[in-house]
Structure 1
Amino acid sequence: MTELRPGDASLLRKVNTQATLSALRREGVSTLTRLGRITGLSRQTVEAVLDELKDRGWVREVPPDEGVMGRPARRFEFRADAGYVVGVDVGGERIVVSVADLNGEVVACERVAVSEEAAAPERLAAARRAALACVDGAGVSRARVLAVSVGTSGIVDRSGRVSLSITLPGWTGVDLAGVAGRWFGCTALAANDANLAALAEHWRGSAQHASDVVYILVGHRPGAGILIGGRLHRGRSGAAGEIGTLRQVGWEDAAKELGAKELGAKELGAKELGAKELGKEGGAAEVFVAAGAGDALAARRVDRYAENLAIGAAALVLAVDPDLLVIGGGYSRAGDVLLGPLRRHLAELCLSAPEVVASTFGDESVALGGVRLALDHVEREVLGL
């Protein structure tokens, strides 16, 4: 018989707790017998673990089914409402907030406008108000928020500080994680917006079944995120994927050119038909809608933009050789009006072009990716998973 060394018993309890809690979260509601079968643990061990988790507030016992004869089986479920996480997208013209329970189910969203010229303190104050309003509107106690994650454009280092921002006034040097942590008095994280969007697509969106993914955020603030082996690749300083900062790539200039001036009466008529679906993207939305309606001039402008976008995308594709290229952000709502020419130009530039798909979540992906990053923290540091 092997003798247990000091510390072995506590480690065994931790392993048993992790196995039981993970199985219960997957099952939803489950009996002791079922959990024992899944985990390979004895019924007595599972029962002891669940009773401890119940005392800690992470698990609740569910009443037995009505009409069951004899001694009913004890049934348990994970308390997804035992805590909440918040994902925030701090953008140039809008702030988007999502609040989710510990199963990742979004229970409330908040969306507010912010001036593109807003100074950093004003933008941070608007983000705080939106986050608090979203939590309060969901009827969630602020004390039950366990983690917050904030996404923004620019380079964000591993501490959650914005080390470089070229689009938001006064944003370089902002300790975004430190500021957000004071909103609810909990752990806060911060990351590049395209990175969080890539996480969201891999979690529940267009990239669920892909391992190596390049995500490109297209709009007035272009950027890219990279997943390798299903894990976010941030790079040494957090700048991985920031190919749009190279002026030779020309992504920002191409976006300005796309929506540089208002279209004529014919295109404006097309705008009335579908600009609502494209969101608030200024003149670019008009161009996409007009191109979709068959206007040749608008189609040529979209093609030039797609060709320019393909140059930077091809550089990322040739470096990573991903399974999938996801196009997200406000422009992604143009669908095949943009993706069609992009696929064509990409095929001309790449040795083997990957599948190109539109984002599932559009401009909501960053906040949802923030939810996922915050959940990762809670599962690892609070639940021990």
Structure 2
Amino acid sequence: MGRLTGGDPSLLRRINSAVVLRALRGTDEPPTLTLTDLAHATGLSRPTVEGVVEGLADAGLVAEDTQGGGDARRGRPARRFRFCSEAGHLLGVEIGPHRVAAVLADLTGRTTSTMARPVAEDAEAGRRLEHVRTLVADLLRRAGVARTSLRAVGVGSPGIVEADGRVRLGTALPGWTGLPLGDRLRRSFRCPVLVENDANAAALAEHWKGAAAGSDDVVFVLAGLSPGAGSLIGGRLHRGFGGAAGEIGALHLLGREATPERLLSTTGEPLHPLDEEAVARVFELAREGDLRATEAVGRFIRRLVHDVAALVLALDPELVVVGGWASGLDGVLDPLRHELERYCLRPPRVALSELGEAAVATGALRLAVDHLEERLFAVEGTTVGG
């Protein structure tokens, strides 16, 4: 691409297109606007807006709203235009120890269909990915959406994930360490595939649609096989230099061999199988007054607090959101608040996840939405909608 100057007409067209498209796409429910509305909203002249809208319509991103009314002008209603949210689709995928899930959305990020299926904990990597492919195919078939309609796919996965989608370290899933997850999944799609750590994805989801909406400094704790956390600083995801930020589950490797299956044991033997149902049963027994279960829950919460406090002291978040197993377990919040008050100089607010088990897939969808917006509103490189 050649050097652009302030008077470069192609640059001006891209800027104008991005401005008009942003006004039409909106932030929640896309509006329908007249050319005059768009001129007021963007500060562009009406003839300029008209030319931009024509170009966006040719690209399939804008259409005339034939259902709307509008202000009458000279006896005729004004033409109104809308963003074509149906011009493509976005997909968010969760790959977890016990299930795979997917969320399908239009180009505004509005969910249109979801699907989830169980996966065996010991499924090897190839088999697990086959479950993902089958799930996506069935979801698209049920929704009546062609695979070619997908504009971007986001994926949330356990482990330390590098920028290209390779899992540098992943102990929660068999055969996951070193897996070129992004490359393997890109073979199934004709659009960009973005892979992120599951706790990071869940943090994005809670900030977008959950308990952290309106808070820009957030720690999201995913309490699972190995506790992990995602952090937002100033509203932006903090991944760290190598993508390992928030791997609080590694703290037991530093001389603290208190793994979750031992912490939650009521028999002296490691809890097996270590899954959501087994953990929920331990918490239920504790509520019923079982002494060993009460002690196990206390150990689990103290360990969780120790891990979370390390992040809170380092990052000073406004809010800590607890998800994973703990989001469905009563009695976690008050002990966590109490212990954080003991450990932390400025205790944050603490809340349970509002998205529950949908958090990771929803965050993966947010990755796809962000990628689309970068392309739609870009003013350097390819044309808008390319």
Same fold, TM exceeding 0.5?
A: yes
Q: Which residue of 1 aligns with 2:109?
A: 104
SS in 2 for 1:247: helix
Question: Is residue 57 from structure 1 mapped to residue 54 from structure 2 by the alignment?
Answer: no
Distance 1:171 1:252, change over 3 A: farther
**For residues 292 and 7 of structure 1, what CA distance do their matches in structure 2 show?**
70
Amino acid of the structure 2 residue aligned with 1:21: L
Find the aligned partners of 1:5 and 1:383 in 2 and give their Cα distance. 19
Whole-Å separation in 1 of the counterparts to 2:376 and 2:129: 27
Q: SS where residue 282 of structure 1 aligns?
A: helix
Q: Which runs of 5+ in 1 are unaligned?
A: 263-279
Of residues 251, 259, 262, the one that matches 1:246 is: 251
Shift of 1:250: 8.7
1:225 aligns with 2:225: no
Matches of 1:42 and 1:258 in 2, distance apart? 66
In 2, Cα distance between equivalents of 1:294 and 1:136: 49
- CA drift of 1:303 comes to 2.4
Shift of 1:297: 5.0
Pairwise CA distance, 1:238? 0.6
Matched, 1:355 2:349: yes
User: Matched residues in 2 for 1:105 and 1:178: separation?
Assistant: 27
Cα offset for 1:131? 1.6
Look up the equivalent residue of 2:242 and give its one-letter code.
S
Conservation of the 8 A alpha-carbon contact between 1:244 and 1:252: no
Alignment CA distance shift 1:249-1:74 (3 Å): farther
**After alignment, is 314-323 or 374-383 more displaced?**
374-383
Please tell me whether residue 167 in structure 1 is matched to residue 167 in structure 2: no
Equivalent position SS for 2:354: coil
Q: Which residue of 1 aligns with 2:199?
A: 194
Distance 1:318 1:54, change over 3 A: same
The residue number in structure 1 matching 2:296 is 301
Per-residue deviation, 1:382: 4.7
Q: Distance in 2 between matches of 1:68 and 1:167?
A: 59
User: Over the residues paired in the alignment, what is the CA RMSD in angstroms?
Assistant: 2.3
Distance 1:66 1:193 in 2: 45
Q: CA deviation at 1:299?
A: 3.8
- How far does residue 84 in structure 1 lie from its aligned partner after superposition? 0.8
Structure 1 residues 251 and 365 mapped into 2: Cα distance closer, same or farther (>3 Å)?
farther
Is 227-236 or 213-222 further displaced after alignment?
A: 213-222
**What is the match of residue 76 of structure 1?**
81
The code of the aligned residue for 1:371 comes to L
SS across alignment from 2:252:
coil
- 1:267 is aligned to none
Q: 2:320 aligns to what?
A: 325
Aligned residues of 1:194 and 1:215 also touching (Cα < 8 A): yes
Amino acid at match of 2:371: H
Q: How many corresponding residue pairs?
A: 365
Q: For residues 56 and 294 of structure 1, what CA distance do their matches in structure 2 show?
A: 64
Structure 2 residue 285 is matched with structure 1 residue 285: no
Residue 77 of structure 2: SS of its match in structure 1? coil
Q: Is the 8 A contact 2:22 2:377 kept in 1?
A: no
Report the Cα offset of residue 7 of structure 1. 5.7
Contact residue 222 and residue 251 of structure 1 kept, 8 A: no
Q: Give the corresponding residue for 1:151.
A: 156
Q: Which residue of 2 aligns with 1:212?
A: 217
CA pair 6-384 structure 1, distance change in 2 beyond 3 A: closer
Counterpart code for 2:20: T
Aligned-partner Cα distance in 1 for 2:201–2:255: 23
For residues 36 and 227 of structure 1, the distance between their equivalents in structure 2, rounded to whole angstroms, comes to 35
Other structure's SS at 2:245 match: coil
Report the residue type matching 2:10 in the other structure. S
Query: TM-score with structure 1 length normalisation?
Result: 0.89
Point out the more displaced range, 23-32 or 315-324.
23-32
Asked whether the equivalents of residues 243 and 249 of structure 1 are also in contact (C-alpha less than 8 Å), the reply is no
The residue type paired with residue 30 of structure 1 is L
Match in the other structure for 1:129: 134
TM-aligned CA deviation for residue 221 of structure 1: 3.5
Q: Which moved more, 1:64-73 or 1:8-17?
A: 64-73
Identity in percent? 46
The corresponding residue for 2:363 is: 369
Deviations 1:102-134 (A, max 9, x none): 111111111111111111111111111112211
Contact 1:153 1:221 in 2 (8 A): no
Q: Report the counterpart of residue 23 of structure 1 in structure 2.
A: 23
* Greater RCO, CA 8 A, separation 6+: 2
CA distance in 1, matches of 2:172, 2:9: 54
Counterparts of 1:314 and 1:141, CA distance in 2: 46
Q: Is the 8 A contact 2:70 2:79 kept in 1?
A: no
| CA distance 1:64–1:188, change in 2 (3 Å) | closer
The answer as to 2:136 corresponding to 1:142 is: no
CA distance in 1 between partners of 2:264 and 2:103 (Å): 30
Kindly provide the amino acid, as one letter, of the partner of residue 333 in structure 2. Answer: L
Aligned to 2:338: 344
Q: Which amino acid is 1:17 matched to?
A: S
Q: 1:64 to 1:71 in 2, by over 3 A?
A: farther
What's the offset of the Cα at 1:220? 2.2
Counterpart mapping for 1:29-44 below 5 A: 29-44=32-47
Once the two structures are overlaid, the 10-residue window that deviates more, 64-73 or 6-15, is: 64-73
Instruction: Check 1:175–1:248 CA distance in 2 against 1; reply closer, same or farther (3 A cut).
Output: closer
Q: Which amino acid aligns with 1:367?
A: A
